[in-house]
Structures are given as structure tokens and as C-alpha cells.
Chain A
Amino acid sequence: MKKFLAIVLAMLMVLSVCTACSKSGGDNGEITLTWYVPGDKYPDTALVVEELNKITMEKIGCKIDLQFIDTGSFQERMNMNMASNSDYDLTFVGYLNQFEPAASKGGLMQLDELLKLAPGITETIPEYIRNSGVYMGKTYAIPNMQITAYALAATTPKEYADAFKKATGKDVTTFTNSLQYEDYMEFVKANYPGVYPMRTSYGMGSFRSQDEGWDAKDPFFRTPLNGGSFYQLYKDSENKKFKVINGFKEEELTHARMRADKLHEYFKKGWIRQDIDSVLDEEAELKQKKYALWYGTYKPGMDGEASNRYGWETVSTRISSVSIGSASATMVGIGANCKHPEEAIKFIELMNTDKEAYNLVCFGIEGKHYNKVGDERIELVEGSGYNPNASWKFGNQFNAYRLPGQPDDVWEQTIEFNNLGYEMSKVNPDVTTLGFTFNQEDIKSTVTKVSEIDNKYMAKKHGSKDPATYWDQMLAEADAAGNQIIIDEYQKQLDAFFEEHPEKLAEIVW
């Protein structure tokens, strides 16, 4: 037993030495910026960072410590880093490490002054996109340029679409709204047993009433608020103001019920799979061409990417008008306790303007992780040691090399699509791109309660239940959870915003 005790004591002593010696990094005046990005860890990250450091040392005089953190724990890790006032330098902000909480709790540094040191950022990124990183009138994050306009796309496997065209003479690429696909679904149902005519992952979002020819007064389809479909923003052209409404209640404006009824009608016709409520993962069946139609976000070059992924061709058609979306899902921010903010902002500038550095981080080292097959076209090396495969995590995506399946002009097309969205936004603005942010801090618990109700009825909104059986109950439960409190608060903040910025209101075409 004495021996055992001695071993334990020895272990504890080793430990104390270990803790004392770890983390005593060299401090020779060299600046190293820690950069947290969500993603898998790649064996060759160190090699890539070494190359990157050669560029950054020369251009901005510092080194970068690129740290990938598992996607699944990124949010928690950053919450902890911010709460504990850790002095990290750069972090991804967006769909993970969400912007509003990060900015409102003081986890991010305010960037307005710093931006003057990095003119490249303001020159490359238009103001309406930069507004995604604005909270309460101050900039806290820089969006990574990517697709920001939004439209609904209907995608069909080319095989079925071609057969449909042959049989009926109708070309799905000429369709302009989702109702037109009804014939197609009927055709699939009749000719391809075992194939589900429609996939409902978008639920009621599969229809956009203003595009279906229904008599809609054009409410906004997307709202910037978590908590889903209970809130919509209605542009009241007569009174020249914005009204926050309950999208499910103000039926005459949103046609929510009509959309829900339509889905249920499809379900009864057998166009939607009968076990939809218990389906968790549709991707496997999608790959086997078991769905004939699904909805998604439109983007230029999407068919090329899909055929690359599935091994067969798809036909995608934009079936809605373009609206402006927010870039807030993919941004980069500087930590509130960053010790070298000037270098950090210059690094963000570098990731937005320097093709060499940016593509190095996105794709790795030429000849090792990818091969060039054209001027700006590459093929990734299969199974290489560095493959983040998501250029929107790092910076300006419009500087990225083209991958197989992407057209040469994919970024030009995307920019054009974005611009279209921006033009449309003057008629149909998304308030977040005008710089408005909804501060949910005071009504947080109410928001949570209402979004729980939303989630509870989410499955039903996929068509399996007759809306007549649950609609009123859903509305009643949402009201009981305090829906009106959120609507009133939203309206109050929105009115205050426009009172403060009358010029924004003046820009809008009513």
C-alpha cells in the first residue's frame, strides 16, 4: 500500500510540473493571431498555416494560428471563450457563434474605427451586405461575401423532367411557380412507382403566395427573427409603413392556411410520402432518385454541384422573385479582448482581397491538396490532408477558384443575382439589410416559448394532418405563449429604427 501511495503522489507531482510547463509559448515580440473556425481538423493544417504565415508576415507582419473547432461544439466553445474574456483574436460568426448574442453580450470588438485601417474591406463589400454585421448601429462583424440574394428553386432529376417533357410537351425550366408542378407530380406518380413525387423539407415555404397568383398583398416571405413563421413583416404601401403581423393569423395577407391546405391536398393525393412524420434523413433516398421534386435555395451553378454530388443530373428552376437575404450567416469578427486589433482587421482585409492567401486557406497547397486544371479552375486531390471544402468560412468567396461542376462565370452570375436581389430590395426590403436588428434580450423567454410551439407544429405543417384539425389550437397556443408580446416589441423597435433613420424609409419604393 505504501508503494501505491507513492505512485499516486508521484503522479500528482508530475501533473503539477506538466501544468506549470504547458502553454509557456515563446514570447519574442512576434504577433500571432488566433483564428477560430468551425470545422474538422485536418492533418495538414499546420503545413497550410506555415505557407499562410509566409504571406501574412510579409504583408501584415504577423502570424496566424488557424484553429478548427468541431462544428458541433463551436457554439458552446465560443460562448465560453466570450464569457471568460479569453483574448482570442479572430472568430467565425454566423450560423454558429450567432451574431446577435455575441455582439450584444460584448463578445466582439466594435470595428467602425478599425475599418478605416482596412479600406479594402469597405471597397470590396457593399454597404448593404456589411449591414449584416451591424448591431445597434455599430459594426461588429464583417460578412464573408457570398450569395446573399434569395429565391426559391425547384429541382427535379433530369431523367424525370425529360420524360415529362416527352410525354406532355411541358418544359419544367419554363415554370415560374410551384403550382405549375402539379401536372409533373401526377405524371411521376403514375409512371414511377416507388418514387415520391414531392419532398417537403421546405414545408409551407414551398409556396410563396405572391408568386402563385394568389391574391396576396405581398408580405415578406422571410423574417430575420428566430421563431419561425409566426412573424412576418408586411409592407403596408397605402400607409407607407411596415407592420409586423402574425403570418398565420392574418390569413388574407399571407395565405398561410391556403399553403397548408395545399400541402395536405398533395399528401392526400399521395404525392407526399405517407410516413413523412417519422422520416429523419431524406438524403440517402434523395441520392437514389427517390424524390422527383424538391425545393431549395436558388443559386447559380447549383445543377453542376448537384450532379457532382449525386452522380446524376438535375434540372433546377428559379420559381420565385428574388429577394434580398442577409449575409449574417457567414461572417468574421474580432474578439473583444483581442490584443492586436490592427493586425486582425488587416488580416480580414487580406482574406477579402488577396486571392493567393484566401485560396490557400480554402483549398490548401497546390500540387498537394489540389491541382490546377485551368487559370482559376482546380480539382481537389482525393483524400488529401486538407479539405475544409467550404470557402465561405474564410472570406470573400468571389475570389475562390472554381471547382468541377461550377461554371467559369459562377461568381459573375452570383454577383449579378445578388445585384438583382439588391434592386428588388428597394421595393421589397429586408429590414436587416437596412441595418435594423431586433433586440430580443428582454423578451427572450417568450421567444423561446413561442418557437417551441412553432417546432411542435412543424411536422404537421409538412402536410400529413388536415390543417382544420390543428390550426386554431396552434394559434391559441402561440397566443398563450405570448406571441403578441413579441409582435408588439418588434413593431416598437422597428418604428423607433425608422424614426431614427428616416432616410432609409425614403429609399424604399412603396
Chain B
Amino acid sequence: MIKSRSSIVSQIILNTIIIILCCIIIYPFLLVVGASFTEEKALVEFGYNIIPAKASLKAYEYVFKNPAAILNAYKITFIFSVMRMVLAVLLQAMIAYPLTKKMLKGRAGLSFYLYFTMLFGGGMVPSYILITQYLHLDDTIWVYVIPMLVSPWNIFMMRTFFAGIPNAIIESAYIDGANEYRIFFTMILPLSKPILAYIALTTFLGAWNDWNTSMLYINDDSLISLQYLLQRIMKNLEVLQNAQAMGVDISTLQNASEIPGETVRMAMAVVVAGPALVVFPFFQKYFVRGITVGSVKG
């Protein structure tokens, strides 16, 4: 197949643009990695470089000085991310599938019930009261999982996808004597891999990046999430600066453990970001299909 000249030119232009974009996106990340391997003093002296002016593993030594805390946060984050991902996909699919059935009574009402929560949320304080005073989920791992399981947005995306599966396939399964559960688990779910993968990935990443939950509900250090571990360092620093502005004598607080150097923060960022980067490529082929598939019916 011979390509026309114009298409080669446009290919070159497009590729250049994308390569430049990639560089713009990757460069800061490489800077962070570079800075994390730089000696603290060199960072002050020479600034940020991808290749450290003076290489040092000090920052990682500091980060892993208390490896138990990080490993534990990893473990907790991984456990609740997987739990949330599995349960969320399953529950949402099980809600979405019946909504595609015309014979379901009150289908419109159910849809509206879901849709309504998209428009009006309970708000922060009521959620806090519900979770801490009625469900007593605070300081348990379930607080990471339960409140985030069902998102109407995901359900509607799934419903659209399920609706696109030809009815003939399902009917033939009926004729072969399969019941609804069997159809759902052995036919609908396998046929819907792209949308399931998409929702699984976004849920997993959402859970992986969750620090807010730890901040509000977790007081037990053995249950905090990885992102919060990082966030805490940053926030503590911010608060210290504010405290100084308000005239609090923070001199007694300024010990090394509470104000980490620039390099330590970079190393933390690298350590925390790692797994999400690894997971992403596995889901990627579904990712693009998932986005387009849910939105275009037919």
C-alpha cells in the first residue's frame, strides 16, 4: 500500500506534536525522580536536574527509615483499592443490567432515583455524621470501601453498554435454558470487558489516590492510606508555615522529623506513584475503548 505524500507529512506533524507533548508531560516527572536522588545541599546549590549534580540515596534512606509504616500503608491501600474495585464493579453491573430490561417494573423510577443522587448529594457534614455516628465506620478499613461503592455515572455508562449487546444473543441463551444469573455472569460480563475494565481501572486509581478518607475518618496510624502518608508530610509543613505567620512559637517543633527536605518529599512522591504507573499499561487497551464505548450507543 502506497501512502500519499500528504498523509506522510501529516503523520510526521502529528507524531512530532505528540512527541513534544509526551516530553512536556514526562519532563516534570523525570525532574521529580532526579531530584529525589540528589543530595539535599546540591539541590539548593544547583537546582533541579534530571541527572543529579550530586547523587545521593539519603532521601530514600529517610523515607524507608521507618519502612514498616510505608509497607503497611501500601498493604492497606492495596487491600482497600482491590476490595473497592471488585465490589464496585460487581455491584454496579448488577444494578445496571436489570435497568436494560424492559420487563423490569418501575425502571424509570429506579433510574430517576439514581439520577437524583447525581444532582443532589448529602454534603460533607451529613456524610460525616452518618459514617461516624450511625454506621461507626470510622477507624475501620470499610470506610474506604463502602461509601464509594456505587456511582450513578458509572451505572449509566454500564447500562448504555449492556443495552448495546444484541438481544438475540440473550434470547438464544434463554432458549438453551440458561437462567438470568447464568446469562449475566457467563455472557453479559465477558462481553462487557471493555466497560468493566474501564470502571475497574478508574475505581482502582480513585481508591489508590484517596487521601481524604484517611484524613477525616482514620485516627489509627496502622490504617492510613499511602497517599495520606504523603499528604500528611505536605500538610504538616503548610500548617507550620501558617502557624509561624500567626505568631506561634514553632521553634520547638522545627525538628527534622516534621520538616523534611525537598528531596525527601520528591522521594515520597516517587514511592507513592509507582504502582499506579505499573497498573495503568495493563488496562490501557481497554481504557480507550471504554471511554468511547460508554458514550456512543450503537
Contact = CB atoms under 8 A, between A and B. Distances in A.
Contacts of B44: 284-285
Given A67-B219, A80-B125, A329-B247, A284 B236 contact: no
A84 B133 contact: yes
Interface in B207-233: 215-216, 219, 221, 231-232
Contacts of A283: 254, 259
Interface string A358-397: 0000000000000000000000000000000111100000
Contact of A84 (B128, B236, B257): B128
Contacts of A147: 249
Interface in A1-60: 1, 8, 11, 15, 18-19, 22-23, 38, 40-41
B235 A83 contact: no
Contacts of A1: 185-186
A150 B235 CA distance: 27
B215 A77 contact: yes
B249 A95 contact: no
B238 A72 contact: yes
Given A70-B236, A284-B40, A389-B255, 6 more contacts: A72-B215, A80-B125, A86-B132, A281-B259, A326-B247, A392-B248
A124 interface: no
A8 B90 contact: yes
Interface stretch (A160-168, A297-305, A439-447): A297-305
Interface of B: 40-41, 44, 83, 86-87, 90, 124-125, 128-129, 132-133, 135-137, 139-140, 142, 146, 185-186, 215-216, 219, 221, 231-232, 234-236, 238-240, 242-243, 246-249, 251-255, 257-259, 261-262
Contact of B142 (A15, A40, A71, A288): A15
Nearest to A305: B251
A206 interface: no
A69 B110 CA distance: 41
A41 B251 contact: no
Closest A-B pairs by Cβ, 10 of them: A72-B235, A73-B215, A1-B185, A84-B129, A83-B125, A329-B248, A95-B246, A95-B243, A72-B236, A95-B248
A contact patch SS: mixed
Given A1-B185, A390-B253, A96 B142 contact: no
A80 B249 contact: no
28 contacts: A18-B142, A19-B136, A19-B137, A41-B221, A70-B232, A70-B235, A72-B215, A72-B234, A72-B236, A73-B216, A73-B232, A76-B216, A77-B215, A83-B128, A84-B132, A95-B246, A280-B262, A283-B259, A284-B40, A284-B262, A285-B44, A309-B255, A329-B246, A389-B253, A390-B252, A390-B253, A392-B248, A392-B252
A281 B221 CA distance: 28
A146 interface: yes
A325 interface: yes
A263 B251 CA distance: 26
A330 interface: yes
A76 B146 CA distance: 22
Contacts of A325: 247
A226 B10 CA distance: 56
Contacts of B262: 280-281, 284
Nearest to B139: A22
Contacts of B248: 94-95, 329-330, 392
Given A96-B239, A284-B40, A284-B41, A150 B247 contact: yes
Contacts of A326: 247
Contacts of A299: 249
A18 B44 CA distance: 50
Contacts of B40: 284
Given A8-B90, A71-B235, A83-B125, A146 B41 contact: no
Contacts of A85: 129
Nearest to A20: B136
Interface string A393-435: 0000000000000000000000000000000000000000000
B186 A19 contact: no
A83 B128 CA distance: 9
Contacts of B221: 41
A230 B154 CA distance: 49
Contacts of B215: 70, 72-73, 76-77
Contacts of B146: 15
Contacts of A222: 247
Contacts of A83: 125, 128
Contacts of A389: 252-253, 255
A72 B230 CA distance: 11
The winner among B44, B185, B254 for most chain A CB atoms within 10 A is: B44
B199 to A, nearest CB: 17
Contacts of B251: 302, 305-306, 309
A14 to B, nearest CB: 10
Contacts of B186: 1
A80 B212 CA distance: 13
A275 to B, nearest CB: 9
Contact of A8 (B87, B137, B236, B249): B87
A146 B235 contact: no
Contacts of A75: 239
